[in-house]
Amino acid sequence: MNQTTGFLPLTRAEMEARGWDAPDFVYVTGDAYVDHPSFGVAIISRVLEDAGYRVAILSQPDYKTCDAFREFGRPRLGFLVTSGNIDSMVAHYTAAKRRRSFDYYTAGGEMGKRPDRAVIVYCNRIREAYGDVPIIIGGLEASLRRFAHYDYWDNKVRRSVLVDSRADLLTYGMGEKILCRIAELLDKGVPIRKIRDVRGTVYLAKPEDPIHYEVAATFDYNDLKENKRAYAEAFGVQYKNQDSINGRAICERYDNKLLVQNPPMPPLERAELDHVYSLPYMRDYHPSYRAAGGVPGIEEVKFSITHNRGCFGGCNFCALAFHQGRTVRSRSVKSVVEEAKKITALPDFKGYIHDVGGPTANFRYPACDKQLKDGVCATRKCLAPTPCKNLKVSHEEYLHLLSEIEALPKVKKVFIRSGIRFDYLMADPDDAFFYKLVKDHVSGQLKVAPEHCADGVLACMGKPSFGVYEGFRKKFFDVTKKIGKEQYLVPYLMSSHPGSTLNDAIELALCLKRNGYAPEQVQDYYPTPGTASTVMYYTGINPLNMKSVHVVTDYHEKQLQRALLQFNRPQNADMVREALTRAGRTDLIGFTPECLVRPANAATKKPSAQKSVGHGKSGKQAHPAPGKKQSTRTPAKSNAKKSPRNASKPNTRKK
């Protein structure tokens, strides 16, 4: 099999070269075609191929007419549609709603290859081309917009994407089992509008039609789009029913139609995950993209391995709970080592495995034994505000996994660049993994996500108190010193998250000053579909406890909070002074060491008390060890692995 035919067909010519007259499925995607298991299109198409179906990839078709959607003719079973690895609006716009200039999932980084709201546009073009052909939508954009949802870009509650797209079925979560079952039914001749009982799907019915599962609640879109409290309550019900064991069906009325979400599909167990990752991925972008310089997104993951799925961390700004779920599953050590061997055989492998991680790198099993029988707790987080008494903490298997990969002949070093959940690490009474992490798996800097220091803000985020991070920070540098290395922490920080006031931002600025840390980049809170934090942003209500939350929606105040986190920058001085004046903290404007900024037009210049810190390899300034200044280095491109929360450089983080 040559390099081109090893990929699934991307053109009619490639399809005909395989001897096909038509595919079973045409998979429409807003991304360039990358056949690597970090890309959802690659996984789903290979799983369907493994099940005996012919899949052709229609990548970034010209969406201005329906002609491009006729490339492969009418598929035998139907169209699959996704916007790509991330939501198309997040891919196109920053948190300030400015158009991005670079697309990591398009050849050469070119913008404009997919439309805004790609799932809706693609489905409408397919309907123009083929009328009533079966259309199944999935991926992150469809999954997180499956219910009525607040849309930050329109600043209103939009209808379910299933309604607006005119698709037949929506699949949410991880789609392998779901789509194989749908394909099986379609192949048997079952009309798609009769497929109503598959878990992990959403469909539209008549109000009088029977529903196959117990219903948790029914909401009305006309109420949800006007009543913020009702909207928050609806999200709370949705959040509590996203477990395959205890989740129930949820309905929404749209005039004379009823949207039904069936309960979630059970997650893939270890043997099933192992099989998915053993499929014949080409582990690269399609050769047709070489002339444009390739697809930038592959560089982040080409030499990285995903060993787990799901996350019981429960950060409120993260969409993982709504997409992959809060129960963790992982691959066997043997499966991961076999993938590492494939990576070492790649012609451009230099001896470095960039990451062995996933949504959260140091999770391998469900949080407790209870989850296996009764499902995840509907109203309790596993780690925040404090670890649950039933939490099982162990890094033993992960430690063994890393050691097995390190032992491979061509491997020089194994790094961990996915997020480490530091509170879970601190809960482990065995320090073996902590020492091994610091000694062998940090590439100069370790990225962690305290996000803030104000406990009120952290509570709204679903994060532990700042004292947990302080304990981790001290231990990290103690171990670093003990092993004789010079290493740094890169703490991710977020401004303007719901719950954050100007005083909270000032508290964080003072914390940064005390610790001599001047962040190169700060994440502005970005309200994206499918998260509890987005509901807080829109309604001012925490949907998980229905308590009121302070929310900053004014763009200028958001700029002030961001400026406080980068108070040492001369261009931010005016905004820092304005923020301090607004908050009644003019005591922090002056020349004394505790001050954040000098007075405007100060006649006398005095040396700044701010410690000097330099740039880290990640392009963010790293947190120096206590009492030590960091040497200045030129920012280099990060190899940090992408996921549903931080894909495509929009920095939509999930930790």
Q: What is the pLDDT of residues 485-497, one digit of tens each?
A: 999 998 899 999 9
CA distance 635 to 643: 22
Position with higher pLDDT, 614 vs 21: 21
Is residue 92 domain-resident? yes
Q: Is the pLDDT of residue 647 over 50?
A: no
Q: Quick one: how far is CA 40 from the chain centroid? A: 13
The residue range of the domain holding 116 is 12-197
The type of residue at 495 is S
Which residue blocks in 462-606 are alpha helix, DSSP H?
Answer: 466-482, 502-514, 532-539, 555-565, 573-582
Question: What is the helix (H) or strand (E) element at residue 321, kind and residue range?
Answer: helix 320-323
Q: What is the pLDDT of residues 134-184, one digit of tens each?
A: 999 999 999 999 999 999 999 999 999 999 999 999 999 999 999 999 999
Is residue 538 domain-resident? yes
Is residue 246 domain-resident? no
Over residues 328-354, the mean pLDDT reads 97
CB 419 within 8 A of CB 448: yes
Supply φ then ψ for residue 129, to 5 degrees. -80, -40
CB 365 within 8 A of CB 372: no
Closest CA to 105 of 85, 119, 120, 87: 85
| pLDDT of res. 300 | 87
Which residue, of 588, 612, 641, is where some domain finishes? 588
Over residues 248-267, the mean pLDDT reads 97
Q: What is the CA radius of gyration of the chain?
A: 25
CA distance 551 to 507: 17
Residues 6+ apart with CB under 8 A from 610: 513, 516, 518, 568
Is residue 216 domain-resident? no
* Residue 4: band (very low, low, confident or very high) from pLDDT cuts 50, 70, 90: low
Is residue 627 domain-resident? no
Which residue, of 152, 175, 197, is where some domain finishes? 197
CB 170 within 8 A of CB 135: no
Tokens 């989850």: give the residue: 371
Is residue 308 domain-resident? yes
Same domain, 187 and 312: no
Percent of the chain with pLDDT over 70: 91
Same domain, 35 and 167: yes
Is residue 87 domain-resident? yes
Q: Quick one: how far is CA 623 from the chain centroid? A: 24
Is residue 267 domain-resident? no
CATH code assigned at 35: 3.40.50.2300
| pLDDT of res. 576 | 97
Same domain, 168 and 317: no
CA distance 211 to 575: 56
Which residue, of 136, 168, 197, is where some domain finishes? 197
Instruction: Please state the domain count of the chain.
Output: 2
CA distance 103 to 100: 8
pTM for this entry: 0.90
CATH code assigned at 361: 3.80.30.20
| pLDDT of res. 5 | 66
